Each structure stands twice: as structure tokens, then as C-alpha cells.
Structure 1
Amino acid sequence: MSGEPFPEIKSKHSLVAKYVTQPIWEKLSSVVTKTSGFTLAKAISCAVEYDDQHCGIYAGDWDSYKDFADVFDPLIQDYHGISADAVHTSDMDASKIQGTIDPSAPVHSTRIRVGRNIDGFGLSPGITKDQRLGVEGLMKKAFANLTGDLAGTYYPLTGMEEKVRQQLVDDHFLFVSGDKNLITAGMERDWPEGRGIFHNKEKTFLTWVNEEDQLRIISMQKGGDVKAVFDRLARGIQAVQDSVKKESGKDFMLDAKYGFIHSCPTNLGTGMRASVHVDLPGYTKEGVDALKARCEALKLQPRGTRGESGGQTGVTYDISNKHRLGYSEVELVQCMIDGVNTLVKEDIELQKKHGL
């Protein structure tokens, strides 16, 4: 059978536009993946639909990275700045982290998240309804095995009382529907069935089920004790992984080259975002461009505190590691700690400069 005609890619400057060429399209457009029946057309739907994509591609299952490697490989190397023969090393040993964020720094909170996906099920853009419910069913059993400070409760979105849902949203714990990219990429099919959130009693260890990845595992707390947050995350991931294996014999998708497999190639590798909310009044006066440039040099990424597209209010910024792939988790957390300490020190000088 012949594939569909070569699509018009609206995001002309996206990585998809660069790597999905006519010959590649002719070669791959009729390929259908085994796990979830995904196609290249589905993978690049955001770049075709919208003109604002930088990357513009999602994977529907682990097979997508293999079956559409002619697109994914060069695109991933380009985005992450890795060589064609790079391999990924994971390291979750919290004892290797040196120092901590200066206790006098104006840090409100610390949050570290990773994505994980379980082998044998599709990734969110391609996952079938049965697979999604299978992931949720497995996780309900796995969560029940967690003990100590990790023990908690799973709250399914289906049938959730509005009061409970609103509280979780207000606490910044719960993901919400309506992101145009996730919708176009197919991640909100059958919403909200098969989705939910697990958290421990203290709300310092959380897992989202079946959002952008099958699992988003999150460790967070008030203040700037990054090491404690990372240590809990490492223990939590291990406990979830052991529990999933015990219940199903299945393991997380882990690729020698690309590390932990995620639905979005920008998250490959560690899939980790280690961040703090910190006040930077000096940099605010100096201008957001100065902060962006400085963060770039420190391998950090600044965001407003209302999330990726929420914009900026006041002097509080969300500062996180910029990289995901090509560095271990320990290296990225260390980079964030050291970088935030540098920014806070420089901010004090800028406050003096601006007479704050």
C-alpha cells in the first residue's frame, strides 16, 4: 500500500521540518508499529497542525524510536547535542551529591520529577485503551506495596469528587486536561479514564499515572534541601520499579543509547527536571534577558512559576537543569545546586547595583 501524500508541515523551523523529508516520508509513511499501531503521521501531528513547534514529534511506543529511527536518531542528536554513538549512563546515588543550596538563599520549594514507562504498553500518544487501563491496574497493585514514608493513596481521576480534584489542582499536584499539544498528539483520548495520582501522606512523593508518560514520579518539599528531595526520589523510583516487577514481571523501558524512554524525545535520558522556586529580585530588575543568558551559561533553564507557558509574576522563578540526555541524574542535580547558588550570589550584587 502507498502512504499518505507528503504533509504540509506548518512549523517550518521545527526539527520535524528539518528531518522529515520527502524521501524519508516515502520510505516510512506506511509503516505501522506493532505495540500500538502508531504511524509517522501521528508522530508529527503537532508540527503539521501548529506553526509554533520547536521539536514537533512524539513517540507512540518504544517501537516508534526503532521503526522511525531515520527521523528520530538525527533529530535527537540535534536536540540534545549528542554524538551518533553516544550511550547514556543513569546514576541515582544521592550520596554523591556535594554540598547543598545555601540555607540563607530565598528558596521556597524544591521539586524533582522523572518520567518512566513500562515495557509492553504503548506510550501515551499511541497507547490503546486496554493498555492504558492495564497500566493503571498494575500501578494500583504496585502502589499498595509501598511502605514507610512512601506509602500513600491512589486517587483515580474517573469518579473523583470535584472538591478533591480542585484541592489537588490548587496544591499544584494534579495535571489538568486541555493542552493543545497533548490533545493533537493523541494523549488525551478517553479522558479521564485510566488516569490518576498517587501521593504519600505528606504529599512529598507523588506519581501521576497516564499523563504525558505512563508514570511521572515526583519528589517535592518546602525549602531548598535538594539532597533530601533527590534521595526520596531515588528510593521512590526503586520501590515503584521493584513493585511493578513483582506484580507483573515487567520493567521500565531503558535503552542503552537513549536512557529512559519517554513519549517526548526532549525528555529522553534521565527524563529528569530538578527545580527550585527562588526569589531573584536583582535579576528581575536587571531584566529577564540577562537571567536567561546567565542560565544558559550555567546549563539551567528559567521559567515563570506558573509552569511552562504560565508566564512570570513577581520576582520568583522556577530554575531547573536544562539537559536531560548525555548527563547522569547526579550530574544534573549537582549542576542545578551549584547554578542556583551562583545565581543567588550574583543576585545580591545586582540588588546592590539597583539600590534594592
Structure 2
Amino acid sequence: MWKIKPPLEYAKEVRYRPILESLVPLDPITRLKLNRGAPKDEFPDLNQNKTTMARVLTLDMYKWQYDRATESGVIFDDVIRPGLEDPGQSSGPLSVGCVAGDAQSYILFCHFFDKIIEAYHGYKMTGQESDFNIDNLKGGDDFEAEYAVGCEIRANRCVEGFSFPTHCCRGERRRLHTLAKKAFGQMAEELPGKLYSLGDLEQGMLGDGFAMETATDLRMKTGVARDWPESRAAWLNEEGNVVVWINIEDHLQLITVRTDPNIKEAFNCIGAHLQKLEALYRKLRHSFVWKQQLGWVVSSPAEVGTGLRASVHLKLMHLPLHKWLGSILERLRLLMEPTGTAGSSRVFKVSNAHTIGFTEVELVQMLVDGVKLLIRMEKALEDPEGSIHHLVPAQK
């Protein structure tokens, strides 16, 4: 029987515990002094919200993500803020309503982002591949000029080791700008061009087809436009048909615009610039972010996978008024939106609706085949007695 109380702790344990505890990494959320209430008190009102985020998010899911933060300090409220600032419209294309603050957001908040990607793209996370082989693309240089009047391709990339634009600090943005200067400087011999600071740019300096990037209200509200226009820039190639925006909504956005509908040549052009830039950034030890399940990782889940949007501009008079148009576009996995007028004909931009689940060349092939079918339908409807019933496609 003990005459004195047994020791509650061993001497060595008492001695070494502070050292051991100091070696355990702190959960990032514990470093943030957030004056927040319980999750049910902080849960947003989504009753009038028309975004994909509102369709997916529940109180239970919010509770699940609530006490988490990435290493760079992104919390779940940062992720859903875009959908709260811009709740979307009841008509028109569905807005995704959320954005990642860094690449780790897709991992830490995967329970949410996986459901967003599945709901927005109709895609289950099974793995992604990339393919820019122009030899695998059939057609795209043979659209009828009477209907197809132009084309463009946009591709987004983010760089390993940096937070995304909604969350990155001033120093990160400056380092990304410096990194871009090095990369484009090394690319000068093979793909010559000029780098412009956004503050020095004026409308028209980049040529026709390239609109100026501005600090919109939504960009200000979501943090994308902090310190605008510092460390934002645009690179224009010597031919004047490719612009690369730096530090806008992603670290890099490449755009090529053509006044003819040769989407095959546009795809070849954007692929060459992307592959060259990818090699240069890898050489500078800052690869583009790639995850096997997601493909090319960028800030918006609406763009992950390929990060690619290809568009053909079509002059259409009859098809946009047809009652089946919405169903046809859905089956073709395409989007259509008006761009303005050309003479007495209305011009629409037709583009791929999704960016994940297919390679780059497969998405452009889908666009090529879909545009050809839309032109056939427009021609059929030019006849007052014409019908497109026999042309309506099955679901792709």
C-alpha cells in the first residue's frame, strides 16, 4: 500500500513534454483569431441564391468545413464569398458561386468542391488527362464563312507555391510578376513579344479583339482586385494574336483571337504557347499546378480540368429563336451567348460548356462537330417549311 501518492507523471515525460508539443504542427485554424459564432449562426441565407454553390451547400456541410483552414489561411467562408456577393440570376448560364484561395483548398475542402464539380460539370472525379496534339483534331479549319465569322481560345494556369488571386498577398503577387518577366524574357527568341504593365496599358494597345481587364465591383468584393493595378501585366506576342494576362483572376490566362473561324489554327497556337511556358516555368522551379483527379488546377472550379474555353462566333437568325435550342445545346455540351450584331445578322459566341472530363483536343473536337451541326440547322430553318427534327442529336 502506498504511504504517499504515486507520481502522476514520470519525470522524463514532464521534462520532454514541452519539447514534444512544440514539434507538433499547429492546425492553421488555431493561428487565426476569428471572432465567429457557432456554424448555425454563421450559415448564410441561400434562399434567393441561384448559384451551384447554393444548390450544394447545406448546414451539415458548412459545419464539416467550418473549423478548417489551409496553410496559407484560406477558410471556408473565403471559398463561398463570390456566390454571396453575386447570387446569380434565375435565367441564363448557371454561376458556380465559389472560388479556391489556393491549391490546397481543393484538398482540404474536397467534400464541398467534389460535389460542386460534379454538379456544375456533370463529372465524377475519376482522373483527368491533357492532350494538345493537333493531329487528333478533325476539321476546325473548314467552317462556312457565311455563318462562322471568328473564333477565340482562352486557357488558364496557376503556379505551384503561390496562393490564388483571391487570397494572395502583395508580396506573392509581386513575385509572380517577377517570375513572369523571367519566363517571357527567356521565351523571347522562340516566341518574341512585349510585356506591358497594366498601369501603362490603354484601350487599343493590344489590338482588336482583346478587351482591357478592369477592377470590376465583383473583383473588388472578392479580393481579386486588391492593390489594382499593381503587379498586373499583359504580354502580347509579335504577331499580335496572343495575349497573356498576369495576376488577374488566375496567375496566367492565355488568349488567342482570330478574325476568321479557323479554330484549328487557334488551338495549335494556344497549345504551342502553353507548352513553351509550362517548360519555362518548370525550369524556374515553379510548375503549373496539376492534380491527377482534377487536371490543371485553377481558382474557379468552373475552369478546372483543362482550364480551356474555345469559342466560335456564328451569325444566326433563325436557330436562336427555336424552342428546342436549349435542349440541343445541352446535348452538345455547348453554351451560346450573344456578342452583338454584324450588319443585320445576330452574332453568337458558341463555346464548350465544361472543362473537365475530356482532354483539350476532345473539347475542341466537340465544339467543331457541334458548330457544324448548328450551321446545318440554321440552313434548314432558312426554308420556311424547313425542319430540324431529324438533326437533333442524342445526349453526348
TM-score by length of 2: 0.80
Is contact 2:131–2:360 with CA below 8 Å preserved after alignment? yes
Q: Which has the higher contact order (CA 8 A, sep 6+)?
A: 1
Change (3 A) 1:256 1:279: same
Q: Does residue 1:220 correspond to 2:261, yes or no?
A: no
Q: Does residue 1:343 correspond to 2:374, yes or no?
A: yes
Q: Does residue 1:282 correspond to 2:318, yes or no?
A: yes
Match of 1:305 in 2: 339
Between Structure 1 and Structure 2, whose CA radius of gyration is higher?
A: 2
Change (3 A) 1:17 1:323: closer
Q: Does residue 1:236 correspond to 2:276, yes or no?
A: no
User: Which of 115, 130, 133 is equivalent to 1:90?
Assistant: 130
SS at match of 1:352: coil
The code of the aligned residue for 1:181 comes to L
Cα deviations by residue, 1:12-67 (Å, 9 ceiling, x for unpaired): 443323433333333322322213x2111111112233432742111000011111
Change (3 A) 1:23 1:103: closer
Match of 1:295 in 2: 329
Match of 2:109 in 1: 68
Cα deviations by residue, 1:63-93 (Å, 9 ceiling, x for unpaired): 1111111211222122211224x11111111
The code of the aligned residue for 2:250 comes to D
SS at match of 1:16: helix
Cα deviations by residue, 1:103-161 (Å, 9 ceiling, x for unpaired): 43332222111110000011111111111111111111111222467310011113x1x
Cα distance in 2 for residues equivalent to 1:288 and 1:180: 35
Match of 2:389 in 1: none
User: Which of 358, 369, 383 is equivalent to 1:352?
Assistant: 383
User: Which of 279, 282, 291 is equivalent to 1:245?
Assistant: 282
Cα distance in 2 for residues equivalent to 1:156 and 1:189: 16
Cα distance in 2 for residues equivalent to 1:132 and 1:269: 24
Change (3 A) 1:303 1:18: closer
User: Which of 33, 37, 40 is equivalent to 2:76?
Assistant: 40
| Deviation for aligned residue 1:293 | 3.2
The code of the aligned residue for 2:276 comes to A
Cα distance in 2 for residues equivalent to 1:170 and 1:240: 22
Cα deviations by residue, 1:142-199 (Å, 9 ceiling, x for unpaired): 11222467310011113x1xxx411147734244224343332211111111111111
Cα distance in 2 for residues equivalent to 1:239 and 1:216: 14
Match of 2:118 in 1: 77
The code of the aligned residue for 2:159 comes to I
Change (3 A) 1:229 1:169: closer
Q: Does residue 1:318 correspond to 2:343, yes or no?
A: no
Cα distance in 1 for residues equivalent to 2:322 and 2:166: 34
Match of 2:60 in 1: 23
Cα distance in 2 for residues equivalent to 1:70 and 1:31: 12
Change (3 A) 1:221 1:149: farther
SS at match of 2:318: helix
Unaligned runs of 5+ in 1: none
User: Which of 167, 175, 184 is equivalent to 2:204?
Assistant: 167
Q: Does residue 1:9 correspond to 2:45, yes or no?
A: yes
Is contact 2:206–2:240 with CA below 8 Å preserved after alignment? no
Change (3 A) 1:138 1:193: same
Change (3 A) 1:186 1:343: same
Q: Give the paired residue count.
A: 341
After superposition, the CA RMSD in angstroms is: 2.4
Change (3 A) 1:289 1:117: farther
Is contact 1:292–1:301 with CA below 8 Å preserved after alignment? no
SS at match of 2:293: coil
Cα deviations by residue, 1:180-223 (Å, 9 ceiling, x for unpaired): 43332211111111111111122212211111111111222221
User: Which region of structure 1 is more displaced relative to structure 2, 38-47 or 260-269?
Assistant: 38-47
The code of the aligned residue for 2:135 comes to S
TM-score by length of 1: 0.88
User: Which region of structure 1 is more displaced relative to structure 2, 192-201 or 3-12?
Assistant: 3-12
The code of the aligned residue for 2:85 comes to E
Is contact 1:102–1:341 with CA below 8 Å preserved after alignment? no
| Deviation for aligned residue 1:330 | 0.6
User: Which region of structure 1 is more displaced relative to structure 2, 14-23 or 90-99?
Assistant: 14-23
The code of the aligned residue for 1:179 comes to T
